[in-house]
A = this chain, B = another copy of it.
Amino acid sequence: MNKLVIVGTVAFDAIETPFGKTDKILGGAGTFIGLAASQFNVDAAVVSVVGGDFPQKYLDLLSNNNIDISGIEIVKDGKTFFWSGLYHNDMNSRDTLATELNVLADFNPIVPESYRDANVVMLGNLHPAIQISVLEQMHEKPDLVILDTMNFWMDNTLEELHKVINRVDVITINDEEARQLTGEYSLVVAARKIQELGPKYVVIKKGEHGALLFNDDNVFYAPALPLEEVFDPTGAGDTFAGGFVGYLAKSNDFSFENMKKAVIYGSTLASFCVEKFGTNRMENLKNKEIYLRLQEFKNLTQFEIELS
């Protein structure tokens, strides 16, 4: 059976949107990626760190979704990473109200021994040095390494970021970050330049405008499902990544054709994530619901034009 290692934050979020606000709730890239990937019944472990203030019920929630948590270090006298954000009316922009690194400041990831032979590794958005440390702990080069990152690391740790980019097979990045990383406005040109940095596959996330998958001269596009209402976008990008990597780890086929399906699964799961605050929608997601939404994606995108 395939094994998947996910490194990413497990955190507290406090979110305010036009629809309401939350106290500190479960959040973090590792959490969202793990919950999405767990839909595919892969043997997945999350590597992360939390403080003594982190409730056991949240750890249980991950365990109950068949996510191995032996790689989540608990720093008893530390506090859990906390992020707070306020979304504007259009839900496409947000202000960060607070970022308290807490135990994340000294995070030294330890991949559990039983997962050091995992064939798929998902590097969630973190300091590039942490991402590289995870790769260094693997017994051999994994079959597939996927990297998520953000503009903060481009601004502050570009040299280290380039090192990790050079070692991965797939990078997921948003459109503005792709432009920042390459200095190119055209996403087609930006994706080509990113491939020259190392990753054979480039996924450019465009939020409500969907996602593009590039590989050599191939390009595939998955829209975001048009929704009546986006309740809380927090975690949508990570859920997309989790669906993407979860499907790939499950199917063990890393071809472009199969990555197209993975992108569709990622978009499908992300469309659920935004329907409720935080992880609420993802915690209780049923296979039947995913099935029906995949059908919606087919209806949304598939057409018949005979080319003869």
Option from B185, B189, B223, B299 in Cβ contact (under 8 Å) with A89: B185
Q: Is A90 an interface residue (CB 8 A)?
A: yes
Given contacts A206-B209, A209-B209, A223-B221, contact A189 B303 (CB under 8 A): no
Binds B, one of A57-65, A121-129, A224-232: A224-232
User: Nearest Cβ distance between residue A209 and chain B, in whole angstroms?
Assistant: 4
Interface code A224-260, partner B: CB below 8 Å = 1, 0 otherwise? 0011111000000000000000000000000001001
Are B307 and A298 in touch, CB under 8 angstroms?
A: yes
Q: Is A220 an interface residue (CB 8 A)?
A: yes
Q: Is A261 an interface residue (CB 8 A)?
A: yes
How many copies the complex holds: the figure is 2
- Which residues in B have their C-beta under 8 angstroms from that of A89? 185
Are B304 and A261 in touch, CB under 8 angstroms?
A: yes
Residue of B nearest to A296 (CB): B219
Given contacts A209-B209, A294-B307, A307-B295, contact A221 B301 (CB under 8 A): yes
- Which residues in B have their C-beta under 8 angstroms from that of A152? none
Residue of B nearest to A229 (CB): B186
Are A228 and B188 in touch, CB under 8 angstroms?
A: yes
- Which residues in B have their C-beta under 8 angstroms from that of A230? 186
Option from B189, B227, B264, B298 in Cβ contact (under 8 Å) with A228: B189
Given contacts A304-B261, A307-B295, contact A223 B226 (CB under 8 A): no
Are A264 and B305 in touch, CB under 8 angstroms?
A: yes
Residue of B nearest to A305 (CB): B261
Are A187 and B226 in touch, CB under 8 angstroms?
A: yes
Are A303 and B261 in touch, CB under 8 angstroms?
A: yes
Interface code A210-226, partner B: CB below 8 Å = 1, 0 otherwise? 10100000111101001
Given contacts A209-B209, A226-B212, contact A220 B303 (CB under 8 A): yes
Q: Is A300 an interface residue (CB 8 A)?
A: yes
Q: Is A93 an interface residue (CB 8 A)?
A: no
The docked-state distance in angstroms from the alpha carbon of A227 to that of B303 is: 22
The docked-state distance in angstroms from the alpha carbon of A300 to that of B211 is: 11
A interface residues, Cβ below 8 angstroms from B? 89-91, 185-189, 206, 209-210, 212, 218-221, 223, 226-230, 257, 260-261, 264, 291, 294-295, 298-305, 307
Please provide the 6 A-B residue pairs with the shortest distance between their CB atoms, ordered closest to farther.
Answer: A209-B209, A221-B223, A260-B303, A188-B228, A188-B226, A221-B300
Q: Would you mind naming 30 contact pairs between A and B with Cβ atoms under 8 Å apart?
A: A89-B185, A90-B185, A186-B228, A186-B230, A188-B226, A188-B227, A206-B209, A209-B210, A210-B223, A219-B226, A219-B299, A219-B300, A221-B223, A221-B226, A221-B300, A221-B301, A223-B223, A257-B304, A261-B304, A261-B305, A264-B303, A264-B305, A291-B307, A294-B305, A294-B307, A295-B307, A298-B305, A298-B307, A302-B302, A302-B303
